[in-house]
Amino acid sequence: MGWKAPDDLAHGGAGGERQPMSSLTTVAAILITLALVFYSVGVWAEHLARYLKPWHVVFFWTGFLFDTSGTLAMELIKPGFDWASSHTVTGQIALWLMLVHAAWATKVVRKGSEGARARFHRLSLVVWGIWLVPYIGGMFLGMVK
């Protein structure tokens, strides 16, 4: 089974017959879901502890790396950013927020005060919630295609 055009990935072309997802689509979905798992564990563990620990930061970065890898896999499926798509816009916002969040967490753990580590959790759930928008939207788009 060779590479298929993006319109043929999940549901087939002109006849509307259901086609199996390509292996690259499956890889992208797995990578994005691993991002969800790692980022969620890091965010919720940090939020519940109300104190930023080094292992939380590792989970933030791991989630970010899986999300970036999944995004790159999607780019291979359908090259180019469609800036008219709300999924593209929310996905880019979420990815950049994840990067800022992980970088800030790294700085706070390395050089931040105890107070900064204790207050950090206030931002995490906001970033996580924003990140869920393109994740859930992508699932919905995959189901209706």
Domain boundaries, the chain: 22-144
Radius of gyration of the chain (CA): 17
Higher-confidence residue: 14 or 134? 134
Whole-number Å distance between alpha carbons of 93 and 55:
25
Higher-confidence residue: 7 or 89? 89
Q: What is the pLDDT of residues 74-129, one digit of tens each?
A: 889 888 878 788 888 999 999 999 999 999 999 999 998 888 888 888 889 999 99
Give the other-Cβ count within 10 Å of 36's Cβ.
Answer: 19
Whole-number Å distance between alpha carbons of 9 and 1:
12
Q: What is the mean pLDDT of residues 66-80?
A: 91
Mean pLDDT, all residues of the chain: 84
Q: Which residue has the tokens 């580590």?
A: 117
Q: Phi and psi for 126 in degrees, rounded to 5?
A: -65, -50
User: What ranges in the chain are assigned the alpha helix state H?
Assistant: 23-49, 54-77, 86-111, 114-119, 121-144
Q: Which residue has the tokens 């970036």?
A: 68
User: Do residues 144 and 122 make contact, with C-beta atoms less than 8 angstroms apart?
Assistant: no
